[in-house]
Amino acid sequence: MSFRGVIEIIDRSGLLRSRVRVEHLPFRIGRALDNDLVLDDIYVCPHHAEVREEEALGLFDLNSVNGSFSGLRRAREARIALPSSIDFRLGHSLLRFRAANEVLETTAVDPLATSRLFAVDRFRWAIPALLACAGALLIERVLISPQMLQWGAVASAVVPALLVILLWALAWSMANRLVSHRFHYLGHLSIAALGVLVINIIDAFCGYLGFTLGADGFMSAVSRLLSGVLLATAIYGHLRLISRGSGRRLLVPAAAVAIAFVTLSLLPSASDGNFSSEPKLATSLKPPAAALRQGLDSDTFYTEIERAMDDADAEATEEE
């Protein structure tokens, strides 16, 4: 008999798992071993359905318990016509029929092989990223240490942070393994390390810019926003590695996590119902050479303070 087409078995993330050639008719599908295509799916009958030709090529349900379905439709069908590239479901299995005249790749391609993201899943990304991240954490640590540097102490402060990054990457790899049978540990590690590095850079940059321009409040809001965007990007990257699939639908969960993060970070200052008898004097301070803007004169400066007093007045009268 001649070649009539190919049945592809699709996995949960919508990717091709395996293929089988339909070379004779009828071509029977089911859970029993004597089928042409054996589906080890407990929701599939031993002899569930078969492909045969009655006027046209079709999939015929063999009075199965759970039925056969076309595409994503919910009505069970006794007969499903099989033009090219049609999806059908038996039990919990998703199958796709490819007609004989379709041009198919002889060897299925790993979808990640063509993705640029896949490149980070290499030592040449992961090691430099981790080192750069360690460097950033080290600098941060050194900057806040008032004593002579004891490198042991400095390193011991950085190591826990690095361990957290390594574990974070491991957690994503485990999830990756569950979903798509691969770890991509180096990829997840690169993403995490780069994320921490970039967050540090954003933070430092915004701090300097805030000081230079005398716009602390604005720049810290910008910094928070950028951190949120960065977090969304990192989570998108992790999800993308896991799913290997279309990226667009992953944007939603990534954005949701980032928005949740930004909201949570804003929450303490927004709902500052807790009374504090200590003022919050924090401001950005950098070497004087970085202070490009001229200072306000007394009149202008204390007019601003009068505005703060007006705020205090408003607060005092509104709750009286």
Partner 1 sequence: MRILLITLAFVSLLPPAWSEEWATEEVFARHKDSVVQIRIIDAQGGAKRSIGSGFLISDDGRLITNFHVVADFVHHPGEHRAEWHTGDGASGPLQLLDVDVVHDLALLQSPDLSGRKFLAVESNLPNMGERIFPLGFPYDLGLTIVEGTYNGLLDKSLYERIHLTASINPGMSGGPAIDRNGNVIGVNVATAGNQVSFVVPSKYVIGLLTRDDAATRGELIGRIGEQLRANQEHYLGELLSTPFVITRLGPFEVPGAIARYVNCWSQTDQSKERLIDRTELSCQSEDDVFISGTLKTGAIRFEHALRSTRKMGAVRFWSLMERGFGSFYGDLGGEKSTMTGFSCSGDFFEHAGTKSKMMVCVRRYREFTDLYDIVQRQIVLDRSDQALQSTLILTGVARERGLGFARRFAESLRRTDATASAAAASEVASPAPPVADSAADGGSASP
Residues sharing a CB contact under 8 Å with residue 89, sequence separation 6 or more, in sequence order:
68, 69, 70, 71, 72, 95
**Position 315 contacts partner 1 (CB under 8 A):** yes
Q: How far is the CB of 145 from partner 1 (least distance, A)?
A: 8
Does position 142 interact with partner 1 (CB under 8 A)? The reply is yes
State the amino acid at position 227 in one-letter form. S
Give the residue with the Cβ less far from partner 1, 103 or 143: 143
Q: Which is nearer to partner 1, 72 or 217 (CB)?
A: 217
Q: Sketch the per residue contact string, 259 through 278, with partner 1: x for CB under 8 A, - otherwise.
A: -------------x--xxxx
CA 218 – CA 284 distance, rounded (Å): 12
| Least Å from the CB of residue 150 to partner 1 | 10
CB of 222 to partner 1, least distance (A): 18
Distances (CA, A) of 7 to 78, 129, 230: 19, 43, 42
- Applying CB under 8 A, which of residues 155, 164, 171, 309 lies at the interface with partner 1? 309
User: Quick one: which segment of 51-59, 87-95, 146-154, 158-166 binds partner 1 (CB under 8 A)?
Assistant: 146-154
Give the shortest CB-133-to-partner 1 separation in angstroms: 19
Among the listed residues 86, 144, 193, 219, the single contact to partner 1 using CB under 8 A: 144
SS3 152: helix
Tokens for 111? 């979808």
The CA distance from 22 to 59, in Å, is 12
Size of the site for partner 1 (CB under 8 A): 46
The string of DSSP letters for 1-18 reads ----EEEEEE-TTS-EEE
Q: Are 58 and 79 in contact (CB under 8 A)?
A: yes
Q: Which of residues 162-221 bind partner 1 (CB under 8 A)?
A: 214, 216
* Contact flag: residue 38 with partner 1 (CB under 8 A): no
The per-residue b/e assignment along 229-268, b for 16 or more CB within 10 angstroms, e otherwise, is ebbbbbbbbbbbbbbbbeeeebeeebbebbeebbeeeeee
Half-sphere exposure of 228 (CA within 13 A, CB side): 18
Given the complex with partner 1, which of 103 and 305 has the nearer CB atom?
305
- Interface residues with partner 1 (CB under 8 A)? 142-144, 146-148, 214, 216, 272, 275-289, 291, 293-298, 301-302, 304-309, 311-313, 315-316, 319-320
